[in-house]
C-alpha cells in the first residue's frame, strides 16, 4: 500500500493509480455490508451508487422521524444510508428513463405496524391514504423519480432525492405488482396489477375475471401518458388470477411479448391488438407468485439481434392449488417448485411459427430464482427456494393456524443457496453448471433481489417473507447484502479498454476501442478473435425479476498491432431502438472470457422521443498482427482460487476489504448459530397461540363502498384533518380540490417550477447531455382536482 503517497496525493490520482490487491475467490459469495432497509428493490444508478427500496415497514433505521424504506448503497465502501421516500413503494415496478434517471410505479396503500391499514382510511376502509405511525402515504398510483447522483453531487439537494408526490405526478390507475417495459421511444408501459394486496389476483370462484370485484387492475397505461388513457388489455382478463408482474419484452417489431399464467401473446401497443402464441408447456406458471427466473438471452450479431426468451422454474401448481386472493389452498412449502426451462423465440425470422422449445432442466427446482446476465454472455441464477412460491401468509387452506405454519409466514421453503450458471451457447444437455461455486449461508426467499454491478460482480440482497419486520422468525427480515464473484474473477488481470464513448447511437459511424497488451494473456491474435463488446442494462430488480434487463453484443472487427495492442472497431447499436430501448447501460469488453469494468453510457438521444437512427457503417476487415505477441496480463478465468486485483480505490477501502475478509469467518459461525436458534424458535412457534391479526385479510367486495362517517372522522395522528371523498364507485380516492390545503402531500413543499429543471445530476463518464424536463402536463394523469 502506498499509504505515504496517498496522504499527499489527490483523490483523482488515487482513483486512477492505486489498485491494491483484494483477495477475492472466484465463485465465492462474500459479505456486502448492510442495506439499512431490506432490499426488496434495487437498481444501479451509476458506478458508485445502488438505490434500494423496501416496503413501508418498521425498519430500525429512521429518517425524518419515521422508519426508513429507502436507502442508497455505496459500491466502494459497501455501506448504505437511509433516503426518504414518501409513499409506500411495496411491490412497485420500475424502469429506467432515457436520460439515465429511474422511475418506480405504484405500490400499496399506506400501512401501519403489522401491515395493517394506515390511520387515514380511504376506499371504504380497505386502504389508507396515510399512516401517522410509519408516516407513509398511499403509493398505489405513485410515480417516483430518482436522478442518480455521485459523491460529487450534493446528496441532500432535491435533485438527488426521490421525487415522490402523487399529487403532482401519478398513474391513472392504482397498481400493485404491475409489469413495466419500455418502448422504443423510451415511453414506459405499465400493465395490470392488483388494486390492493393479495396472493393471487383472483377470487375463487372466479366470477369476475376482469375486475375481481375491484381487486384486479386489467388495464395498461403509458408514462408519459401524452393524452393516452388506460385501456383494458384482454390478455389480463384471459390470464385472470396469475398475471401480476407479467413478463414483458419488447420485440424488434415494436410488439411486446407478454407472458402470464400459462398463456403467451404478442401485443401491439399502438393498436392494443393481441396475437396468441402457444401456451407454456406443462402449464408451468412463471409469473408471481410462482416466480420463475426469466430473461432475454444475449442479443448478438450471430443471432442477428433476434430475441429468445428463457423461462426457468416457477411452479406447476394447478388452478385449484393456487386457491384464493387471500392464500393458497395447499401447503406450498411442501410442494416442489419447477426445474423446467423453456426457450421461446417470439418472432422467428425463418418463417417458422413461434414455439416453445424444451431446454435443460435447472440443477434444482427453484421458485424466485433470478437471472443475471453476465458480461461473458452467460446467465447466473441466484436466490429462491426449492419448494413453494413467493408471497407470505399466516395460513393456507391446509394449515389453518399461524402457529402451525412451519416456516412462519413464508410460503416457500428449502432455500436454494447455491448459484448456477447457464451457458446459452453450450450444447443441449450441458448448459447448466455450478462447479466451483460457493453456497450462501443466507436464505434469499420472498422479497430478495440481485443485480449486476459495474465491476461485473453481482450484488445479492433482501429477503423478507413477512408482513412487517420480523428478526426472529424462520426466514427473517434480512439486511445483509452479499457479493457473488463469478468464475472470471479468478483472473488477476482485467481488460482495461479505452475509447468507449459516453453515448451510443442507433446506427452510424463505428468507433475504436483500444486494449493494451496488459489487458490479456496469451496470443494477441487469439485474444482479438475472442473479444466481445457488450452493452448491458442490469435493469430494475424486484420479485426475482430484473425489469428492463438486456444484453446486446455490438458488432466488431479488429486490428491487432505488432506491439500487442488490439483495436476493436465497434459498431454503434443496431439501427432499431426496439432491440435495445434508449437509456442508461454499461459497456463491458470481455477478452478470453474476462470482462473489463463496465463503463456507463447513455443509449440514444436521452429523451422520450422517436429515436434518431441511421444506417450502420461497414466495419474494417480484421487485421492480424504480422508478428503475434503475448499479452502481459495473466489468468484465464476458467476457474477460481486466485488472488486477484479487484482494485479497491483507496487505502481506506483496502482496510475495509481486510475487515470484510476477516468478518467472513465469523459470519459463517454466526450463520450456524442463527440456524440453531431458528429451529428452537420454530418449535416454540409451533406451540405458541396465533397472535397476529389482519395481515392476510383482504376485503374485496366492499372495497368501493362509501366510508362510514365514523371511519372518515378517525384520527390521523397530529395531521390537520382531511375529509376523504369516500371513493364511491368510479371516483378517485384522491383529495378534493377544497381539501388541497390540508393535503398531506402539500407538506413536501413541492414547487413544480423549480425542481429538477437545471439538474446537474451526472452519470459517471456520461457527457453533459442536456437534462430534459418532464413534459407531461401536471396532473393530466387523472387525479381529480
Ligand X SMILES: *[C@@H]1O[C@H](CO)[C@@H](O)[C@H](O)[C@H]1NC(C)=O
Rounded distance, CA 352 to CA 713, Å? 63
Rounded distance, CA 768 to CA 771, Å? 8
**Shortest reach from residue 737's CB to ligand X, in Å:** 25
- Report how far apart, in Å, the C-alpha atoms of 216 and of each of 137, 244, 327, 768 are: 21, 9, 16, 43
Q: Applying CB under 6 A, which of residues 618, 666, 697, 713 lies at the interface with ligand X?
A: 618
**Shortest reach from residue 320's CB to ligand X, in Å:** 7
Residues 121-150 that bind ligand X (CB under 6 A): 145, 147
**Which of left, alpha, beta for 159 (phi over 0: left; psi -120 to 50: alpha)?**
alpha
**Shortest reach from residue 474's CB to ligand X, in Å:** 7
Within 10 A of 319 (CB to CB), how many other CB atoms are there?
Answer: 17
Q: Which helix (H) or strand (E) holds 244?
A: none
Handedness of CA 196, 198, 204, 206 (dihedral sign): positive
Site string for ligand X, 101-120 (x = CB under 6 A): x-------------------
574: phi then psi, degrees, rounded to nearest 5: -60, 145
Number of residues that bind ligand X (CB under 6 A): 75
DSSP output for 184-237: TTS-EEEE--BSS--SSB--SS-S-TTTGGGTB--EEEEES-TTPPPEE-HHHH
Residues with Cβ within 8 Å of residue 270, at least 6 apart in sequence: 254
Residues 300-329 that bind ligand X (CB under 6 A): 301, 304, 316, 318-319, 322-324, 326, 329
Site string for ligand X, 626-665 (x = CB under 6 A): ----------xxxxxx-----xxx----------------
Q: String of b and e for 486-510 (b: at least 16 CB within 10 Å)?
A: bbbbbbbbbbebeebbbebbbbbeb
Q: Which residue is nearest to ligand X (CB)?
A: 241
**Shortest reach from residue 255's CB to ligand X, in Å:** 21
Position 32 contacts ligand X (CB under 6 A): no
Residue placing its CB nearer to ligand X in the complex, 470 or 725: 470
Residue placing its CB nearer to ligand X in the complex, 63 or 685: 685
Q: Which helix (H) or strand (E) holds 313?
A: none
Residue 115 DSSP code? G
Residues 151-180 that bind ligand X (CB under 6 A): none
Residues 336-365 that bind ligand X (CB under 6 A): 336
Give the binding range for ligand X (CB under 6 A) out of 31-39, 178-186, 239-247, 418-426.
Answer: 239-247
Residues 421-460 that bind ligand X (CB under 6 A): 436, 455
Residues 211-230 that bind ligand X (CB under 6 A): none
Burial zone of 152 (CB within 10 Å; 0-12 exposed, 13-18 middle, 19+ buried)? exposed
Q: Applying CB under 6 A, which of residues 666, 672, 677, 688 lies at the interface with ligand X?
A: 688
Give the binding range for ligand X (CB under 6 A) out of 2-10, 133-141, 469-477, 713-721.
Answer: 469-477
Residue placing its CB nearer to ligand X in the complex, 401 or 472: 472
Residue placing its CB nearer to ligand X in the complex, 433 or 530: 530
**Shortest reach from residue 43's CB to ligand X, in Å:** 14
Q: Applying CB under 6 A, which of residues 9, 66, 211, 238 lies at the interface with ligand X?
A: 238
| Residue 144 β-bridge partners | 104
Residue placing its CB nearer to ligand X in the complex, 33 or 726: 33
Q: Applying CB under 6 A, which of residues 348, 612, 620, 668 lies at the interface with ligand X?
A: 620
Give the binding range for ligand X (CB under 6 A) out of 128-136, 238-246, 269-277, 665-673.
Answer: 238-246
**Shortest reach from residue 99's CB to ligand X, in Å:** 4
Strand order in the sheet with 29-34: 29-34, 480-484, 458-462, 448-452
Burial zone of 687 (CB within 10 Å; 0-12 exposed, 13-18 middle, 19+ buried)? exposed
Residues 260-289 that bind ligand X (CB under 6 A): 261
H-state helical runs in 519-615 = 524-529
**Shortest reach from residue 777's CB to ligand X, in Å:** 12
Position 759 contacts ligand X (CB under 6 A): yes
Burial zone of 389 (CB within 10 Å; 0-12 exposed, 13-18 middle, 19+ buried)? buried
Residue placing its CB nearer to ligand X in the complex, 530 or 651: 530
Residue placing its CB nearer to ligand X in the complex, 207 or 710: 207
Q: Would you give the distance in Å from CA 705 to the centre of its chain?
A: 35
3-state SS, residue 651 = helix
Helix (H), strand (E), coil (C) string for 340-371: CEEEECCCCCCCCCCCEEEECCCCCCCECCEE
Residue placing its CB nearer to ligand X in the complex, 375 or 408: 408
Site string for ligand X, 764-783 (x = CB under 6 A): -------xx-x---------
Site string for ligand X, 577-616 (x = CB under 6 A): ---------------xx---x------------------x
Residues 552-581 that bind ligand X (CB under 6 A): 555, 559, 567, 569
Residues 502-521 that bind ligand X (CB under 6 A): 511-512
Residues 482-501 that bind ligand X (CB under 6 A): 494, 496
Closest by Cα among 519, 528, 514 to 493: 519
**Shortest reach from residue 656's CB to ligand X, in Å:** 13
Q: Applying CB under 6 A, which of residues 470, 517, 542, 605 lies at the interface with ligand X?
A: 470
Residue placing its CB nearer to ligand X in the complex, 10 or 691: 691
3-state SS, residue 669 = helix
**Shortest reach from residue 731's CB to ligand X, in Å:** 26
Give the binding range for ligand X (CB under 6 A) out of 97-105, 478-486, 624-632, 717-725.
Answer: 97-105
Q: Applying CB under 6 A, which of residues 473, 565, 581, 613 lies at the interface with ligand X?
A: 473
Residue placing its CB nearer to ligand X in the complex, 290 or 294: 290
Rounded distance, CA 631 to CA 409, Å? 55
Q: Applying CB under 6 A, which of residues 236, 685, 712, 783 lies at the interface with ligand X?
A: 685
Residues with Cβ within 8 Å of residue 422, at least 6 apart in sequence: 310, 312, 360, 371, 378, 379, 380, 381, 431, 432
**Shortest reach from residue 723's CB to ligand X, in Å:** 31
Position 204 contacts ligand X (CB under 6 A): yes
**Shortest reach from residue 738's CB to ligand X, in Å:** 29
DSSP output for 36-78: SS--SEEEE-SSSEEEEE--S---S-EETTEE--EEEEETTT-
Residue 427 DSSP code? P
**Shortest reach from residue 725's CB to ligand X, in Å:** 28
Closest by Cα among 542, 699, 715, 694 to 115: 694
Residues 402-421 that bind ligand X (CB under 6 A): 408, 413-414
Amino acid at each position: 500500500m502506498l499509504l505515504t503517497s496517498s496522504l499527499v496525493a489527490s483523490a483523482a490520482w488515487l482513483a486512477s493509480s492505486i489498485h491494491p490487491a483484494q483477495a477475492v475467490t472466484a465463485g465465492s459469495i462474500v459479505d456486502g455490508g448492510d442495506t439499512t432497509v431490506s432490499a426488496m428493490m434495487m437498481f444501479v444508478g451509476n458506478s458508485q451508487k445502488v438505490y434500494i427500496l423496501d416496503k413501508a415497514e418498521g425498519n430500525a433505521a429512521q429518517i425524518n422521524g419515521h422508519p426508513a424504506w429507502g436507502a442508497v448503497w455505496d459500491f466502494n465502501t459497501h455501506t448504505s444510508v437511509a433516503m426518504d421516500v414518501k409513499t409506500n413503494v411495496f411491490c412497485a415496478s420500475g424502469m429506467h428513463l432515457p436520460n439515465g434517471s429511474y422511475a418506480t410505479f405504484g405500490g400499496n396503500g399506506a400501512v401501519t405496524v403489522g401491515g395493517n391499514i394506515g390511520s387515514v382510511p380511504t376506499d371504504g376502509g380497505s386502504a389508507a391514504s396515510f399512516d401517522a405511525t410509519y408516516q407513509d402515504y398511499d403509493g398505489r398510483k405513485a410515480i417516483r423519480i430518482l436522478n442518480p447522483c455521485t459523491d460529487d453531487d450534493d446528496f441532500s439537494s432535491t435533485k438527488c432525492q426521490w421525487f415522490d408526490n402523487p399529487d403532482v405526478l401519478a398513474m391513472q390507475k392504482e397498481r400493485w405488482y404491475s409489469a413495466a417495459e419500455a418502448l422504443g421511444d423510451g415511453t414506459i408501459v405499465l400493465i395490470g396489477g392488483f388494486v390492493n394486496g393479495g396472493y393471487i389476483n383472483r377470487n375463487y370462484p372466479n366470477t369476475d375475471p376482469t375486475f375481481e370485484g375491484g381487486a384486479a387492475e386489467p388495464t395498461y397505461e403509458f408514462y408519459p401518458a401524452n393524452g393516452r388513457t388506460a385501456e383494458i388489455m384482454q390478455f389480463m382478463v384471459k390470464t385472470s388470477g396469475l398475471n401480476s408482474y407479467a413478463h414483458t419484452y419488447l420485440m424488434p417489431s415494436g410488439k411486446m411479448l407478454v407472458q402470464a399464467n400459462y398463456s403467451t401473446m404478442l401485443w401491439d401497443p399502438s393498436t392494443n391488438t393481441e396475437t396468441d402464441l402457444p401456451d407454456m408447456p406443462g402449464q408451468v406458471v412463471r409469473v408471481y407468485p410462482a416466480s420463475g427466473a426469466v430473461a432475454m438471452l444475449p442479443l448478438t450479431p450471430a443471432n442477428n439481434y433476434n430475441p429468445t426468451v428463457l423461462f426457468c422454474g416457477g411452479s406447476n401448481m394447478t388452478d385449484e392449488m393456487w386457491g384464493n386472493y387471500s392464500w393458497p389452498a395447499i401447503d406450498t412449502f411442501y410442494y416442489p417448485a419447477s426445474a423446467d426451462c423453456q426457450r421461446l423465440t417470439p418472432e422467428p425470422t425463418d418463417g417458422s411459427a413461434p414455439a416453445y422449445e424444451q431446454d435443460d432442466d435447472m440443477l434444482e427446482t427453484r421458485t424466485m430464482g433470478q437471472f443475471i446476465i453476465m458480461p461473458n454472455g452467460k446467465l447466473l441464477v441466484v436466490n429462491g427456494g426449492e419448494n413453494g412460491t413467493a408471497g407470505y401468509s399466516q395460513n393456507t387452506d391446509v394449515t389453518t393456524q399461524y402457529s402451525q405454519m412451519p416456516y412462519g409466514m413464508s410460503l416457500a421453503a428449502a432455500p436454494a443457496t447455491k448459484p448456477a450458471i447457464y451457458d446459452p451457447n453450450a450444447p443441449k444437455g450441458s448448459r447448466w453448471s455450478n462447479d466451483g461455486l460457493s453456497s450462501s449461508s443466507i436464505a434469499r426467499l420472498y422479497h430478495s433481489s440481485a443485480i449486476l454491478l459495474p465491476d461485473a460482480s453481482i450484488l445479492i440482497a433482501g429477503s423478507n417473507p413477512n408482513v412487517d419486520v420480523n428478526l426472529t422468525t424462520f426466514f427473517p427480515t434480512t439486511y445483509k447484502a452479499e457479493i457473488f464473484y463469478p468464475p472470471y474473477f479468478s483472473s488477476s488481470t482485467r481488460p482495461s479498454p479505452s475509447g468507449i464513448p459516453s453515448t451510443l447511437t442507433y446506427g452510424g459511424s463505428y468507433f475504436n476501442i483500444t486494449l493494451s497488451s496488459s489487458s490479456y494473456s496469451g496470443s494477441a491474435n487469439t485474444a482479438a478473435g475472442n473479444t466481445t463488446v457488450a452493452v448491458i442494462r442490469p435493469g430494475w430488480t424486484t420479485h426475482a425479476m430484473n425489469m428492463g434487463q438486456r444484453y446486446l453484443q455490438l458488432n466488431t472487427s479488429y486490428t491487432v498491432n505488432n506491439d500487442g495492442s488490439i483495436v476493436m472497431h465497434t459498431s454503434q447499436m443496431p439501427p432499431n431502438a426496439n432491440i435495445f430501448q434508449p437509456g442508461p447501460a454499461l459497456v463491458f469488453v470481455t477478452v478470453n472470457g474476462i470482462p473489463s469494468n463496465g463503463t456507463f453510457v447513455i443509449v440514444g438521444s436521452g429523451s422520450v422521443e422517436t429515436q434518431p437512427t441511421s444506417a450502420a457503417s461497414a466495419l474494417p476487415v480484421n487485421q492480424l498482427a504480422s508478428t503475434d505477441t503475448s499479452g502481459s496480463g495473466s489468468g484465464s478465468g476458467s476457474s477460481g482460487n486466485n488472488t486477484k486485483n479487484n482494485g479497491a480505490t483507496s487505502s481506506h477501502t483496502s482496510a475495509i476489504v481486510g475487515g470484510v475478509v476477516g468478518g467472513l469467518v465469523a459470519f459463517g459461525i454466526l450463520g450456524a448459530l442463527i440456524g440453531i436458534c431458528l429451529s428452537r424458535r420454530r418449535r416454540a412457534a409451533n406451540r405458541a397461540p396465533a397472535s397476529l391479526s389482519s395481515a392476510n385479510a383482504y376485503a374485496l367486495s366492499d372495497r368501493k363502498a362509501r366510508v362510514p362517517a365514523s371511519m372518515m372522522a378517525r384520527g390521523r395522528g397530529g395531521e390537520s384533518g382531511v375529509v376523504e371523498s369516500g371513493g364511491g364507485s368510479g371516483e378517485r380516492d384522491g383529495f378534493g380540490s377544497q381539501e388541497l390545503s390540508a393535503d398531506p402531500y402539500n407538506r413536501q413543499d413541492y414547487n413544480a417550477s423549480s425542481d429538477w429543471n437545471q439538474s446537474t445530476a451526472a452519470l459517471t463518464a456520461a457527457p453533459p447531455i442536456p437534462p430534459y424536463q418532464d413534459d407531461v402536463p401536471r396532473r393530466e394523469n387523472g387525479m381529480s382536482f
